[in-house]
């Protein structure tokens, strides 16, 4: 019997709540590898694998993209996410039926005859196989809307969502479970979502679910920060992008400036968001008329943000300097602070200043 993805995450996570870099969830377009038989319920046909692999690799041509990349690419190409209304309604209706059947089995199953239990289990398994046929990121929003329109009971949907999230053996099952928890769950599932969000592949769904459940911005920012600080790739980017533009927590803003832009994908991916959410302009202008040294960690992070903004100028659809409010005030303050020696501990600061001057930014 295959291990659930949730159990694999729990077993692999370190005491600091961070997964090792080697941790990997097999995706639908990947072949099962040795040792672990894979996490898919049944192998995809070669035709299906080829189609999914092509869609997943649109960002850089790599046939085996990084964990979480497929969701990131799909979200940025809305045309790929349009599905027939009938298909969405069909999935939602079948899912609602499974939600009610599973809840019924949990509550009353002990009194049922074996034949009835088997019929209910077949219904649930058939719906799970249906879930495995679709990429959740491309169908889940309209499906959730349909479930709400069909007056799906919140407690029943949350129970089924937890069942998929903790027991799912495929990425599709777990992501669907997370989405159900985000729509129908409450704050009691935030710890579970945080655990699942330790995976780069699941972080996008986990942070979206947390954003829906945690109504208070401060609570959500802390949860997203905790996720982001343990991630390195698309999951980290997703957590930062989902944070609000105005963050009141000074510690979080400082972390975003010092570490937010650093990821294994490229500084340009989130440099603009880090400049805004870390309040680069506010921090830089706070240095005016002072010779106080900026610590190396923070100085290096700020230089990374400027580097990322420069890189974004040559990347299609990437946000650069023009997207950051009051960026010229931040630049003027940065140049002046570097001249006064405030960035003496950051060896990259003089280079950034020269690039800013050369480009007349």
Percentage above 90 pLDDT, the chain: 74
152 and 52, same domain (yes or no): yes
197 and 251, same domain (yes or no): no
65 and 147, same domain (yes or no): yes
169 and 197, same domain (yes or no): yes
Q: Tell which of 207, 224, 244 closes a domain.
A: 244
Hey, how many other C-beta atoms are within 10 angstroms of the C-beta on 243? 25
- Identify the domain containing residue 81 by its residue range: 1-244
Q: Tell which of 244, 269, 299 closes a domain.
A: 244
Q: Tell which of 244, 273, 301 closes a domain.
A: 244
What's the structural domain count of the chain? 2
337 and 198, same domain (yes or no): no
Looking at residue 87, what is its pLDDT?
86
226 and 276, same domain (yes or no): no
The full length of the chain comes to: 361
Give the global pTM: 0.86
180 and 274, same domain (yes or no): no
Hey, how many other C-beta atoms are within 10 angstroms of the C-beta on 31? 10
276 and 192, same domain (yes or no): no
Which of these, 319, 141, 322, 311, lies nearest to 240 by C-alpha position? Answer: 319
160 and 130, same domain (yes or no): yes
Host H or E run for residue 74: helix 69-75
- Along the 361 residues of the chain, how does pLDDT read in single tens digits? 688 999 999 999 988 889 998 888 877 655 444 333 333 334 344 444 444 433 444 444 455 678 998 888 777 766 656 667 778 899 999 999 999 999 999 988 889 999 999 999 999 999 999 999 988 988 999 999 999 999 999 999 999 999 999 999 999 999 999 999 999 999 999 999 999 999 999 999 999 999 999 999 999 999 999 999 999 999 999 999 999 999 999 999 999 999 999 999 999 999 999 999 999 999 999 999 999 999 999 999 999 999 999 999 998 888 999 999 999 999 999 999 999 999 999 999 999 999 999 988 7
Q: Using N-to-C axis directions, what is the helix angle for 136-149 and 171-184, rounded to 10°?
A: 40
């Amino acid at each position: 019997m295959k291990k659930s993805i949730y159990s694999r995450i729990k077993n692999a996570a370190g005491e600091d709540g961070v997964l090792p870099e080697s941790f990997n969830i097999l995706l639908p377009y990947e072949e099962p590898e040795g040792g672990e038989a894979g996490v898919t319920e049944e192998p995809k046909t070669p035709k299906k694998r080829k189609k999914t692999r092509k869609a997943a690799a649109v960002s850089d041509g790599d046939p085996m993209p990084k964990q979480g990349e497929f969701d990131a690419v799909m979200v940025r190409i809305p045309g790929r996410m349009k599905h027939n209304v009938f298909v969405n309604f069909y999935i939602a209706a079948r899912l609602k039926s499974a939600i009610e059947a599973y809840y019924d089995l949990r509550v009353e199953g002990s009194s049922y005859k074996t034949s009835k239990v088997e019929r209910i289990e077949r219904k649930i398994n058939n719906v799970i196989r249906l879930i495995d046929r679709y990429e959740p990121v491309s169908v889940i929003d309209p499906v959730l809307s349909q479930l709400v329109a069909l007056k799906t009971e919140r407690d029943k949907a949350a129970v089924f969502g937890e069942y998929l999230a903790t027991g799912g053996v495929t990425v599709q099952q777990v992501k669907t479970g997370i989405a159900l928890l985000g729509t129908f769950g409450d704050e009691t599932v935030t710890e579970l979502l945080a655990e699942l969000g330790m995976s780069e592949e699941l972080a996008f769904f986990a942070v979206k679910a947390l954003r829906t459940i945690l109504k208070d911005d401060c609570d959500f920012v802390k949860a997203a920060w905790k996720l982001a600080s343990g991630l390195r790739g698309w999951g980290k980017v997703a957590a930062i992008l989902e944070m609000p533009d105005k963050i009141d927590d000074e510690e979080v803003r400082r972390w975003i400036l010092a570490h937010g832009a650093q990821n294994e994908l490229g500084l340009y991916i989130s440099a603009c968001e880090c400049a805004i959410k870390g309040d680069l302009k506010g921090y830089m202008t706070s240095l005016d008329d002072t010779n106080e040294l900026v610590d190396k960690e923070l100085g290096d992070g700020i230089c990374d943000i400027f580097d990322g903004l420069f890189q974004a100028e040559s990347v299609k659809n990437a946000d650069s300097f023009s997207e950051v409010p009051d960026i010229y005030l931040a630049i003027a303050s940065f140049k002046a602070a570097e001249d006064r020696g405030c960035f003496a501990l950051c060896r990259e600061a003089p280079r950034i200043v020269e690039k800013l001057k050369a480009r007349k930014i």
